[in-house]
Amino acid sequence: MRTFALYLLTALAEIVGCYLPWLWLRQGGSAWLLLPAAASLGLFAWLLTLHPDASGRVYAAYGGVYVTAALLWLWAVDGVRPSAWDVVGGLVCLGGMTIIAFGPRSA
């Protein structure tokens, strides 16, 4: 559970770090949004280093959590309810993440 929470926090940091510049560029937000965006992306990079596995495995497993977190963001922030296909796709991604992150390893 701790590993999954770390992946989720990592995804949230990346999404916020990308969303704030989007607000600035697409929605006419303040350029000051770039400061917390940079901090959030810095946090994202640091959080990736806390994962115990090899970087390639971490990035691969993280992708599944990122996709699911982005769909939750779609609903919570953008106000767009995910379709049944979005939910199925998110579950498939989480299944892949689970296999990559928690599958047995050869010694």
Residue range(s) defining the domain that contains residue 56: 2-102
pLDDT band at 107 (very low <50, low <70, confident <90, very high): low
Residue 71 located in a structural domain: yes
Decide: pTM greater than 0.85: no
Residue 29 located in a structural domain: yes
Residues 11/90, Cβ–Cβ less than 8 Å:
no
Residue 45 located in a structural domain: yes
Residue 70 located in a structural domain: yes
Write the DSSP string, the chain: -HHHHHHHHHHHHHHHHHHHHHHHHHH---GGGHHHHHHHHHHHHHHHHTSSS-HHHHHHHHHHHHHHHHHHHHHHTS--PPPHHHHHHHHHHHHHHHHHHHS----
Q: In the structure encoding, which two tokens stand for residue 35, read together? A: 């400061």
| Number of structural domains found in the chain | 1
Residue 107 located in a structural domain: no
Average pLDDT over residues 82-103: 93
Per residue in 8-32, pLDDT (tens digit) is 999 999 999 999 999 999 999 899 9
